[in-house]
Amino acid sequence: MFVSATAGSVEAASKVILVYGDSLSAGYGIRVEQSWPSLLGDRLKEDTRVGAGGTPSWTVANASISGETTAGGRSRLEVALRQFKPKVVVLALGANDGLRGLPVKQMQDNLISMVKLAKASGARVLLIGMRLPPNYGPEYTNAFEAAFTTTARLEKVALLPFLLEPVAGQRSNFQADGLHPISAAQTKLLDHIYPALQPLLK
């Protein structure tokens, strides 16, 4: 099952996966039901290995916001955790920090804070990283990428290093802006994310 962040509640019998990201997870430029978090809800219903033996089913709540930075995400995470009470948090923020050239140390501090909040609420965390194009310069791009690795190592959480890895090499996977994957590429993203997420659902 999939619910948007504006939904009043989720099924009481469900365990919640909270997807907490930016436009890449919010379904920018496509229909919400075509986005990878929505497809994740469908995948979980089909996967007989998840929720077997009469255990509660999983619901996907998507609290992603287009244009969100790690600072914005940090400011609203406590409310989201109280609202959805997730068992798993998929944290996919940082792309907008990089595109705006914001300080990497500030981004990493925000990521660490959000991971700590999620863990303190009792949720398992999958941190999803991002990479920047080379025109940002090697010093910044290397530090940016390392921030995700460092956060995962320090907080001992699962890491998927690069959200767009299965689609990044082909321009046809993206909308006219060259930044946001098209609807047909969303399944590729889900196929990339799902193996990293599965261990957290046991």
Q: DSSP assignment of 155-172, as one string?
A: HT-EEES-TTTTTTT-GG
22: which residues sit within 8 A by CB, 6+ positions away? 64, 65, 66, 67, 68, 69, 92, 93, 95, 96
Structure tokens at 81: 């955790």
Look up 180 and say whether it is catalytic.
Answer: yes
- Cα separation, 109 vs 93, whole angstroms: 12
Helix (H, G, I), strand (E, B) or coil at 127: strand
Strand 158-160 relative to strand 88-92, pairing: unpaired
Considering the candidates 14, 22, 23, 121, report the single residue annotated as catalytic.
Answer: 23
Look up 75 and say whether it is catalytic.
Answer: no
Q: Which amino acid is at 200?
A: L
Considering the candidates 14, 22, 180, 192, report the single residue annotated as catalytic.
Answer: 180
User: What is the DSSP secondary structure assignment for residue 133, as one 8-state letter?
Assistant: -
- Cα separation, 17 vs 89, whole angstroms: 6
Write down the residue that tokens 């959000």 correspond to: 114
Give the active site residues.
Answer: 23, 177, 180
